[in-house]
Structure 1
Amino acid sequence: MIMIAPQDEPAPGNIKVTRWDWINLALQTLISGGIESVRVLPLGQKLGVSRSSFYWYFESRQDLLDQLLAHWRNTNTKAIVERAQRPAESIIMGVMNVFECWADERLFDPRLDFAIREWARRSDDVRRAIDQADNDRLGAIRDMYRRHGYDEEDAFIRARVLYYMQIGYYVLDLKEPVEARVGHLAAYLRSFTGQEPSDADVAHFMRFIAAR
């Protein structure tokens, strides 16, 4: 039997519905209702299209679920790893690069991360994906510290403290305004690096916040 690969172009007769429309709605549904709510028929009804539109883009529901995981890896995990790997003239600047992910949800979506972690409670495959993502994120942050002269154990523990503290913020659903948290920026930087940030360091990150 000849298999026709799902298409990226809009399906005939459903010009206004794209592959991304399906993925975006599925992501919203995953976040708001959990993985069991991500079903083809209800999604199609919300989009106002038939099941044939879905199968134009995806081979199966599992194919869609795989795309959700891929999107999560290519956004949340990629953002942390990329910023931890950026060249930085100091560890303080390196940590602030990572802080960009916490300050801008366009880079790191905490609701999506939490939804994936909830999904992992029901799927061993997703649990493995979560474990791999955490290892990749922690490894990139650890390597950032190592590049700036921290020994292996110190880099490993500092990476854990930085990363797990932020994930804890999301898990506890703390409602601290960004402005209030940024007010403690210098103290956070001292805690995560053991170094004293300059006024110029703080001003650099404040410019990032203002430009969001």
Structure 2
Amino acid sequence: MTQKRQNRPRATKKLWLDAAIELLIKTGADGVKIMPLAERLGLTRTGFYHHFRDRDALLDAMIERWERKNSGNLVAQCDLYAETICEAMFNLQDCWFQSKLFDAQLDRAIRNWADHDRKLKARVDAADAKRKTAIQGMFERFGYPPTDAEIRTMTILFTQVGYIAMEIKEDHAARVNRVPLYVELFTGKTPTKHEISRFRARNGY
């Protein structure tokens, strides 16, 4: 009995939430239930209620994490200091390469869930509006006219949403090598060798 207790994970709120998100990605929102989570973690159902009022509170916590991590970090990356629009675009591209900034699987799972949940769809729409405002604002800071900035922004957002929805699998090195071409396509400017090398270095290349 003592050994089993020692092997159990510490029952933190984050532990429950992490496991719930794994289930969401794997099974969808309908599969996120308290008992399967407890069994998955080797914990008791009672322990769940020390951290969450009920299942609805857990579901809301998952959505809040998605809003904070994916949309929050995307907006923050757009707001980072940059001397050129290419440097700013590379900052945004970091989201697609650093899981600490953006969880693509979670983004897809939330969008799939929102297809069947009107309230969540409203939150997804609001998050997309924030992302759009942040990216468009980034372009406008560098002198792009509003209409031009908006079209470039929608191209970026629709490209990435489609990339995630289609579950594109590609060699990481090849994907990194293509980013400067995407940056040039999205901005209409050619990035410098220094800008490219800094992007590659912070993303492991």
Structure 2 partner of 1:175: 169
| Per-residue deviation, residues 191-210 of structure 1 (Å, max 9, x unmatched) | 11111111111111111112
SS in structure 2 at match of 1:210: coil
SS in 2 for 1:59: coil
> CA, structure 1 residues 181+46, in 2 after alignment: closer, same or farther (shift >3 Å)?
closer
- TM-score, normalising length: structure 1: 0.89
* Unaligned segments of structure 2, at least 5 residues: 1-7
Correspondence for 2:5: none
Structure 2: how far apart are the matches of 1:119 and 1:185?
30
Distance in 2 (alpha carbons) for counterparts of 1:177 and 1:197: 22
Which SS does the other structure have where 1:105 is aligned? Answer: coil
Question: Is 2:16 the partner of 1:22?
Answer: yes
Measured against aligned partners, the alpha-carbon deviations of 1:175-201 in whole angstroms (never above 9, x if no partner) come to 122211222233212111111111111
- Which of 96, 104, 107 is the aligned partner of 2:98? 104
Q: Which residue does 1:207 correspond to in 2? A: 201
The alignment covers a number of residue pairs equal to: 198
One-letter amino acid of the structure 2 residue matched with residue 48 of structure 1: G
Aligned partner letter, 2:139 = Y
The one-letter code of the counterpart of 1:189 is: V
Q: How does 1:1-212 map to 2 (within 5 A)?
A: 16-210=10-204
Counterpart position of 1:5: none
Question: 1:15 offset after TM fit, Å?
Answer: 7.8
Aligned to 1:8: none
Cα shift at 1:126: 0.8
Q: Distance in 2 between matches of 1:20 and 1:148?
A: 40
1-structure distance, mates of 2:96, 2:173: 12
* AA in 2 matched with 1:138: K
